[in-house]
Amino acid sequence: MRKWLNEPAEWTDDAASLTLVTEKATDFWRETFYGFTRDSGHACLEPVTGDFSASLTVQADYQALYDQAGIMLRVDETSWIKAGIEFTDGLMHFSTVVTRNVSDWSVIPLPEATPETPVSIRLTRHGDAVRVQFHLGDERWQMARLCPFPVADAMVGMTACTPERAGLNVRFSAFQIGPPISRQLHD
């Protein structure tokens, strides 16, 4: 059953998609570099245990610095991963933040992407490791991150944040949770 963490005032959900509009100054971040902790981002999450793969497709009208939308895996406020599109330095990036008491941040520039580009994201947990992958359109899945993560019951689902503004319109579709994909990293 889905549960909101920081439910936005404006959202709709049907069998095919979840849409939302972000509120002002929403974010997930802990300490590193900026020296602050934020746990105010919007996330619609479902419980998961053991190994699994979760995937979704996201589109949004990214415009302002740090506009972001994607997938989140969360144990609690100190252990979580968010991965998806983040608008920074004037273009869309595939962004991953892994938090284990403090946050780290990695980005992959996507100069060919526009706000209309649907981005698919897949997160797979195998024991104490999580693999983050993405693709644009019909491309093959590209690995963005392989990282350690606690073996614990968690929540996974859709997330969106706008640290610098309100009003990011986001549409999530094709959200699913199932058995983990193969552990094979390379074809």
For range 80-101, the mean pLDDT = 97
Beta-sheet strands, E only, within 1-90: 3-5, 10-13, 17-21, 28-30, 37-39, 42-48, 52-60, 68-76, 79-88
Range of the domain at 152: 16-177
What pLDDT sits at residue 146? 97
Q: What is the pLDDT of residues 44-54, one digit of tens each?
A: 999 999 999 99
Give 74: exposed, middle or buried? Use CB within 10 Å, 0-12, 13-18, 19+.
Answer: buried
What pLDDT sits at residue 119? 97
Q: What is the pLDDT of residues 121-172, one digit of tens each?
A: 999 999 999 999 999 977 789 999 999 999 999 999 999 999 999 999 999 9
pLDDT of 35 above 70:
yes
| Confidence at 33, pLDDT banded by 50, 70, 90 | confident
Please name the residues in contact with 182: beta carbons below 8 A apart, sequence gap of 6 or more.
none
In a domain, residue 7? The reply is no
First to last CA, the chain: 35
What pLDDT sits at residue 87? 97
In a domain, residue 5? The reply is no
| Confidence at 187, pLDDT banded by 50, 70, 90 | low
In a domain, residue 183? The reply is no
| Confidence at 1, pLDDT banded by 50, 70, 90 | confident
In a domain, residue 120? The reply is yes
In a domain, residue 115? The reply is yes
In a domain, residue 28? The reply is yes
For range 79-107, the mean pLDDT = 97
What pLDDT sits at residue 22? 98
* Distance from C-alpha of 133 to C-alpha of 142, rounded to nearest angstrom: 5
What pLDDT sits at residue 186? 79
In a domain, residue 2? The reply is no
pLDDT of 74 above 90:
yes
Number of domain units in the chain: 1
CATH assignment of the domain containing 53: 2.60.120.200
In a domain, residue 134? The reply is yes
